[in-house]
Amino acid sequence: MLSSKQKQNIDRCLVEVAKIARKGKWSAKDARWTGLLVVMCVLDESNGWIYASPAVPESRDYPHDIMPTKGDHLSVGLFQQQVPMWGTAKDCMAPETSTWKFVSALMAQGLTRYRSKRSYQAVQAVQRSFDSRGYNYLAQLPRALVFLKGHWAKAVAEAAK
């Protein structure tokens, strides 16, 4: 069960996806697909918490929910993006900017098209997690589908404002 804070963090990502899709005039199916990929990734990487890292001291300067005693290398934020590979600590800690970076990486590989690849493989192609098959993301698919069903319409409406 996600807390209201976790839901709020993931909702911020979905609003950003909806804004990107709106600007790019994507089909509704492609936008929702990309939203699903974002939710799968965030649920696996951080379970909706914004992580700072002791290995990235400047990450503590930005809003965060959790500061573990041991850091996962240089990974921070909702997507556990590595600084500086994904950008600055500021970029990786901000839900909107980190979502934009993740979606941009999906777009660069042509993975924002509906069913361009299996969902978990699309996320793995961008994240390159420890499980080269991406099964860690596949494990999040049921939760991500339920979350998306309850939150996507609200994100689209918010993005249209």
pLDDT tens by residue, 48-58: 999 999 999 99
Higher pLDDT: 128 or 115? It is 128
48 is in which domain, residue-wise?
4-159
What is the percent of the chain with per-residue pLDDT over 70, rounded to a whole number?
99
Under 8 Å between Cβ of 30 and 21: yes
Which SS3 state, helix, strand or coil, does residue 66 take? Answer: strand
Q: In sequence order, what DSSP letters do the residues of 67-130 get, joined into one string?
A: --SS--TTEETTTTEETTTS--HHHHHSHHHHHHHHHHHHHHTT-SSTTSS-HHHHHHHHH--S
Is the pLDDT confidence value at 160 over 70?
Answer: yes
pLDDT tens by residue, 21-35: 999 999 999 999 999
Our count of domains for the chain comes to 1
Q: How many CB atoms lie within 10 A of CB 118?
A: 13
Per-residue b or e along 133-145, where b marks 16 or more CB atoms closer than 10 Å to that residue's CB = ebebbbebbeebe
- Which pLDDT does position 71 carry in this prediction? 65
pLDDT tens by residue, 66-119: 999 886 689 999 999 999 999 999 999 999 999 999 999 999 999 999 888 999
Is the pLDDT confidence value at 132 over 80?
Answer: yes
- Cα 87 to its chain centre, rounded Å, is 15
